[in-house]
Structure 1
Amino acid sequence: PSIIYTLPLGQGAPWIDHQSSTGFQRVKRGWVWNQFFVLEEYMGSDPQYVGKLHTDLDKGENVVKYTLSGEGAGSIFTIDQTTGDIHALRSLDREEKPYYTLRAQAVDIKTNRPLEPESEFLIKVQDINDNEPKFLEGPYTASVPEMSPVGTYVTQVTATDADDPTYGNSARVVYSILHGQPYFSVDAKTGIIRTALPNMDREVKEHYQVLIQAKDMGGQLGGLAGTTTVNITLSDVNDNPPRFSKSECPLVPESSAVGSAVGRIKAHDLDIGKNAEVEYTIVPGDGGAIFDITTNEHNQEGIIILKRPLDYETKKAYTFKVDASNAHLDPRFQSFGAFRDTATVKINVLDVDEPPVFNKPSYVMDVYEDTPAGTIIGAVTAQDLDASSSPVRYSIDWKSDLDSYFDIDPVGGTISTNELLDRESIAQHNISIVATKLILTSRVGITVHVLDINEFPPELASPYETFVCENVIQTFSAKDQDLPPAGQQFSFKSPKEDMKINKNFTVRDFGSKYNTAGILTKRSGFRRRLQEIYFLPVVIEDNGYPPKSSTGTLTIRVCGCESDGSLLSCSAEAIFLPVGLSTGALIAILLCIIILDNHKGENCYSDIRDNVIHYDDEGGGEEDTHAFDMGTLRNPKVVKENLYRRDVKPELKRGPRPPVSQDSADIRDFINQRLKEHDTDSSAPPYDSLATYAYEGNGSKAESLSSIDSLTMDLEEDYDYLSDWGPRFRTLAGIFGEHDGSDRFTD
């Protein structure tokens, strides 16, 4: 036995032979299939018949019961348990669910025992053309360059149909253009939109709206349709040159600042974006040196810039040409013509009131000092360059001339002195002159140089104090407060009256080339003990006009000098020879000299240094009593009897010097005796030493060599008997302490 699936009539059910118990007979019944069909969108009042289930075991005796299970069983589909008829309880939509899978079962109505195995079958929803084509991405936006050729691709549109594309023509879509002709066309199968007219110009029409239709059933009558909108824009290409609408004639004040904008000009370009960018240039000619032009990036205007100052009185108008061209050219359209335009610009200069103008940027004037007040030293001139030619008045800025040295004529501009000028006080004056026209003013600076006149005599450059040792004593120079125009030149000489009476010194002029003079001695043998200080007048004269002269005084001091002329001492206490030295000190000096003569020079000095404190500094003079104990060289008797101040020259009256004994036999005996004692002294150190002798006894005929006693001596005494001892005295003086640099030493 088997279940027979019977299709409802009208759905192509054929005749099928069926073998029964009575033999073969022809029975009209349903086709045996494993699926049923149900029309979608059924709108009838009764449930829609789907098909029938039947088994051969069903003899019509009501012993077989049919059951249905699976998708939609009981809710969408129902079955007559007795007859096996299946019905759809509601309208179905294929686009919602195209088919349902169910299972059928035949059982014994009494025992509920399956009579056959469960069988599965499909109920397919049969499609009808109930969906129109739809554009899922609409509305569309597209662009195409202007001036594009016919057939240029613009965009593509696509419509979809929800109906079954495998059943009939319900889903076969055809495209057509409802609005937008004759500019564009659409391909019926692919939906590609293309241009249909040549040289569409954006500047004429930029935006287009095209309506596209998609129709199913292959576009046949009765088919469903859907539409969409395509917004098409023509993009710009540089197919238009810039064009000036008119020439410009701005009015520019002559006081306009350099670098300021004095005019604007614009060339209009029908293109947009970078295709409308304009470059401006000034054609070489009248205005190229005075004006410049730049482009305003925001509005593509040409801005005229002032490069140099304007002057109405010099030039009242400028005329020049300006070129405008595109910065980005399209070679496809350059053949249309010149992609540039030229405009004529005329700039009229507007006259404005300006302050007076001086004929010089600054002035320099010279005036001699001591010029009488009211003397004119120069003049300034300022003019009103405007057409009005207003009068100009002059004045001195009081801030630049606080002391009112100068005055100015307010009409003529002449400058005069207001008081006497002094170059030595102020050598240069800087004043400011104000020129006024109505309420407008201008200023100019004046530098006044005060010229020197010869009003000061020359004088010694410094208070000279020199010393005399040999013929030429010293050179000296002079100075002058005046300011010479070509260098100072001085001459030096002694006064006429002094040249006759002065037998000691004279002045030698070394010439104007050197501007110095020298002091020469007229004699030799100057002695400090006779006269220590001399005064020499000098007449100094300059080369000014009129010449000025003055007399200066030179101070000349007689000093002790070396044989080569170098200065030793000029101090008062060192002038006189210390002839009052005691006999004991003299013996000590002679003893040291003998030691120096009997020993090698280096060894003697080495030994002496081992036993004598030596000072490298000069000390504080005779009053530096802490530097070295000079007691061993002093005669106690003389010290007690002759206590004088050492910082001043004694004012004692000098007398004749007692004679000095020339017999030195006792001195030689004394020295030989003492030498023998020292040579045989076993306690003496192993090296040479210096023995000093401070006192020789009260019976010395030479008495003391002290400089104190020498005050009573005759100043004209001959001291040549000590000249051979001079170098040795200097050596001893360096050892024992005080030495004035001459062949003498003190105490």
Structure 2
Amino acid sequence: MAPAAPRAPRLFLGLLVLSLCCEACKKVIFHVPSELEAGTLVGRVNLKECLQSAELISSSDPVFKILEDGSVYTTSVVSLSSEKKTFTILLKDIQEHVEKKIHVNLVADEEKTQKTRHARDTVLKRTKRRWGPIPSVMIENSLGPFPLQIQQVQSDTAQNYTIYYSASGPGIDQDPKGLFYIERETGNIFATRAVDREQYPSFQIICFASTPDGYSPEVPLVHTIRIEDDNDNAPYFTQDVFEFCVPENSKPGIIVGKMVADDRDEPYTLHTTLKYRIVSQTPPVTPVFGIHSDTGVITVLSPQLDRELVSKYTLLIEARDMAGQPFGLCTTGTAVITIEDTNDNAPSFKNMQYEAWVEENRVNVEILRISVVDLDEPGSPGSGAVFEIIRGNDDRSFEITTDRNTNDGILCVAKGLDYESSKQRTLVIAVNNEAPYMLAPHSRQLAQSTSTVIVHVKDVDEGPVFKPCFLRLEVKDCEQMGTLIGRYLAEDPETGNSEGICYRIAPGQCNWISIDEKTGEIRTTKVLDRDVGDMRRGQCNMTVLAIDRSGKTGTGTIQVIIKPGNKNYPRIAKTEYIMCRDRKPICLTAQDADESPFSMPFVYRVADRSLSASWKVTRHNDKSAYLSPKGEIPFGKYTIPVSVSDNGGKQGVTYITVNYCNCDTPSDCSEDHTISPHVFPRADPNVTLGVWAILAMILGSLLLLLILITICGCCGSGVMHRQVTDDCANHNLIISNTEAPGEEVMDHNVIPLQNTNDQGGYGIKTGDQQTFEMVKGKGHTLESIKGGGHQTLGSVKEGGGQPMMDTCRYSYSEWHNFTHPRLGEKVHLCRQDEEQKHSEDYLLSYNYEGKGSLAGSVGCCSDQHEEEALDFLDQLEPKFRTLAETCVKR
């Protein structure tokens, strides 16, 4: 038979953090055939004797599977071959953190092996099996009699064996315990009492078939007992009261809300098929709502929803199962529907005409309250009144607002009224709502409600009135004290003239303006200057008082504005500049304390005619200009008068000092940058040393020092007979890219060069043939062959002009004194000529020519005499032979 799927043990997802107390509680021995097929019941272990609440049940050997009732099955074929097989059942209680083990030993039994084989042959011959019945059905709330047989299970192996039946699972040995049992010999399943389907809709029990000795020829059967539903539960509404809202004047078909009921009986049966209906409506007027019988959705039936008539409806709703049939169970629920207000009632005035009185010149005073009637819900936007003066308020003398507490209109005076101008004012006021008006169905459009208000103006004795009430006066800057700038007069409204009126300026006003007490003339009390005191603001606002004979006072405002004047001339702030030999133009920037239009644009020019021939000013923008020389000028300091004129024609002269310096940047300029003619006889006296020139002098001095060290190292002291070394050769050969034999290398223009590791070198070539050469002979001195002065290093050292014996050992100071004037002169002449002629005397770089020759030096510094053998030249490599032949003196 096919194995039934046992209930899988629950899996615990997560990590067990706390350690479990693990112990072995017992050992179990099963006598089984030596060969077991997959799905064979090995035996049953009482797990609860070891651990009452085992949440995880597992086997140490995957060949064996453990069910919740303790049944042990094989998952694959097992062959014992008369040997013991041992595995462990592991039980875990996650909540209590307990772990226990059951050791199981399988012992092969020969008798059972033969019996099993015989049974297997018998099973293969049968054609009909009854071990898998259909699920059983038990009616809910059955009246019995009990015990009530509900099913019978039988195994086909009962034809060959004595079979005993047993069962476990919910309803048998699990809650609700004792509800079912199975007869051991017949396999009949009985129920002992009635069952509530809503509590236990079905049961799954495991049925076992085994021989008296404990062998199970069948896989356990999982049998389902389904409890058939009985209509024992009436429907119920999910809420005690359902509350809905719908706007008044809603159209038929508008959804109001949905009633929701439920039933605990079996879903998708007649026991839970509900029907809804409206039982009653309060107030009992014409029905205005309907309900969908299947869905419970409430909708509007009548268009006559008027909140002003009925503001709330209460519906009693019935829900009945069995599809609404009379024998079905039913319940009732309540729905309360509130009618929301809409602005379907226009406001109207209680009175069509009002009268009010106010004294002239009164401001911000309430003169009238106007009441309106509105049937819409109080406090809602549909009833909130909004008033508007639609006629008679062109000058904005009146304002009307709404009192939110009473919904009345409040009429106020915003500007003082003049009795002499108008003794009476007529206003037309209209009223609307905050929300837009909505016309109710089957209603006519109403005209906007209006009311007329007649305002009577009372005459009072008024004070003087300035005309105009605000006077603006302009005065020029620099006006003298006592200047008349205007007149400000007031009139008596009653008489229309200015007689008997006195004028004063209210205290705390600006102190540079005064007003005549009788005539109202306005004069200056100080010289006006926008740069002094409170006149810097450029204006003054004053309150003027006008007082009549009766002591009545009127006020007016004067604004005096000081117009800017052209009292300042432009000045150049920075007056000292440094101009280097690149003659970069100097940017001049002027400032003017005046305001527009007496400031920019500025006009610059050189004020001195004699200097305008050599200096020029070029416009940059409205504020600045460039100053630069027109042609060649000598270095030195220049003082240039520059005239600057503003837009108003005001002119000022500023003297600009320009230090024209022989420098690269202004920071390099100092007093000793100008070169005097006696410093370098061959150089231009105006030429100064730059950064690169000084660097070249230092490099040249170091180069000559290295030449001296090389010569001394090669030559030694006196006349010495030694082999020429590679270093001496490298320091005397000029490395070049010439591929053909050159000129006679013994010429005195050849300069010793320094070469470090044969990576190329630098040579100095002088245009005036003033060079030094190590001459073979007694003295080993440096002699100027083609120089004009016939000055040798030896003569410099000894202070005379005669050569002397020496060992090529000279101090640095002696070499420096000899070479510095000549080399410095050449370096300073570099790049001074536009044709770059002097740049030929600069340092020249030569490319790499290879390693040094094994023959050593073949230059002029060799200390070998002409009569000594030069056999080593015969062993030179081919590429050096041509050079050797050229260098040997013939």
| Structure with the greater alpha carbon radius of gyration | 1
Higher relative contact order (CA 8 A, sep 6+): 1
Q: Quick check: TM above 0.5?
A: no
Could you state the TM-score of these two structures normalised by the residue count of structure 1?
Answer: 0.40
